[in-house]
Amino acid sequence: MTKPLLELRELRIEFPTRRGTLVAIDDVSFAIAPGEVLGVVGESGAGKSLTGAAIIGLLEPPGRIAAGEILLDGMRIDNLPHEAMRRIRGRRIGAIFQDPLTSLNPLYSIGRQLVETIRTHLDMDERAARQRAIDLLREVGIPAAERRIDQYPHQFSGGMRQRVVIALAICAQPQLIIADEPTTALDVSIQAQIIALLKRLGRDHGTAVMLVTHDMGVIAETADRVAVMYAGRIVEIGPVAEVIRAPRHPYTVGLMGSIPSVVDDRERLVQIDGTMPRLTVIPPGCAFHPRCPHVFDRCRRERPELLDADATRAACWLHAPGEKSANAGPRGTKVRR
């Protein structure tokens, strides 16, 4: 087994309020190996982006890490002072955010932003840093990089700005990249090119990638493994092909069933009844039980941990010893329409 580059151990994120403490991320654990792409998928509000923000030390107050650990290459980073974390962010961890306009300063040319970032983290003079910036722009597919390096963000299209953000994320050769919805609002051809670039980073440079998205198509094309999140917890995790082909948690079954297919003759897509609970009203037991077509008494009383479910692990009591025969089995699970 390859030693993990990133490890999350029982991470818990809370938001203190006047009415009490809201638990946004509850007991999340996973690891990413060098060169691996882990996809993190789920509905809006499931906790995907919040998990990524915690890893790079950018939780918005009053959010705080209340328990658990985050380790980068064996070193704990969740308790580092601000300045120490700032040196890691950019140098060892790169970030790609959903909206490139929020990541780029409109007052500075992209060349100036790239050169400043490179020189902050690497021992290079101005000339060498500029040449590296040009090489990076070529690597991410910016045409005429020597000319465009001196242009400003508003002179680039959305897809080209996202490529510049990726160049910024990889300019210091980080070990890990947190990519938060990197292909949202981009056309399909640009999406495919960015997916290919992320995969090439892992293959050629051994970069680990945590890919946060709600798009299972992007996950299927890019990720090696996938973690499905619901209401601040991981409900299923495993190899991407297995999770897509034979999902073991009823929520994942619903997600897979909602994806259109050109080879499927279904008249209607699967619909998961109800909505994800708000943080203030997460039900006891399994948080998915009010929407689950296979719910039974234990689901309402006890919260399941991740259990072995063939090739994946799923937080569902259907996979507990003795439950498979007593209740509907997970294979071929159908979410009511």
> pLDDT for 191-231, tens place per residue?
888 888 888 888 888 899 999 988 888 888 899 999 999 99
pLDDT category of residue 264 using cuts at 50, 70 and 90: low
Structure pTM? 0.90
Range from 66-75, 106-115, 122-131, 324-333 carrying the lowest mean pLDDT: 324-333
- Where residue 247 falls among pLDDT bands split at 50, 70, 90? very high
Q: Residue for token digits 């799923």?
A: 314
* CB-based contact 316:250 (threshold 8 Å): yes
Question: What kind and span of H or E run contains 209?
Answer: strand 208-213
**Beta carbons within 8 Å of 265's beta carbon, 6+ residues apart:** none
Indicate whether 282 pLDDT > 80. Answer: yes
The secondary element (H helix, E strand) that includes residue 219 is: helix 216-222
What pLDDT, in 10s, does the model give residues 124-170?
999 999 999 999 999 888 999 999 999 999 999 888 898 899 899 99
The Cα–Cα gap between 145 and 138 comes to 6
- Residue 333: CB atoms within 10 A of its CB come to 21
Lowest-pLDDT choice from 77-86, 176-185, 187-196, 301-310: 187-196
> Looking at residue 308, what is its pLDDT?
94
Give yes or no for residue 298 having a pLDDT over 80: yes
Q: What's the first-to-final CA gap in the chain, in angstroms?
A: 41
| DSSP H/E element including 300 | helix 297-301
Provide the residue type at 47 as one letter.
Answer: G
Mean pLDDT over all residues of the chain? Answer: 89
Q: The tokens 């490179």 sit on which residue?
A: 118
Is the torsion defined by CA of 182, 9, 256, 299 positive or negative?
negative
pLDDT at 102: 78
What does the pLDDT average to over 82-97?
A: 91
CB contact at 8 A, 170 and 148: no
Tell me what pLDDT residue 335 has. Answer: 36
How far is 176 from 157, CA to CA, in rounded Å?
Answer: 26
% pLDDT > 70, the chain: 93
Per-residue pLDDT, 206: 87
pLDDT value at 9 more than 70:
yes
CB 187 within 8 Å of CB 122 = no
pLDDT at residue 217 in the model: 82
The domains found in the chain, sorted by start residue, are 6-223 (3.40.50.300), 249-326 (no CATH)
For helices 158-170 and 126-139, the axis angle rounded to 10 degrees is: 130
Characterize the bridge pairing of strands 176-180 and 208-213. parallel
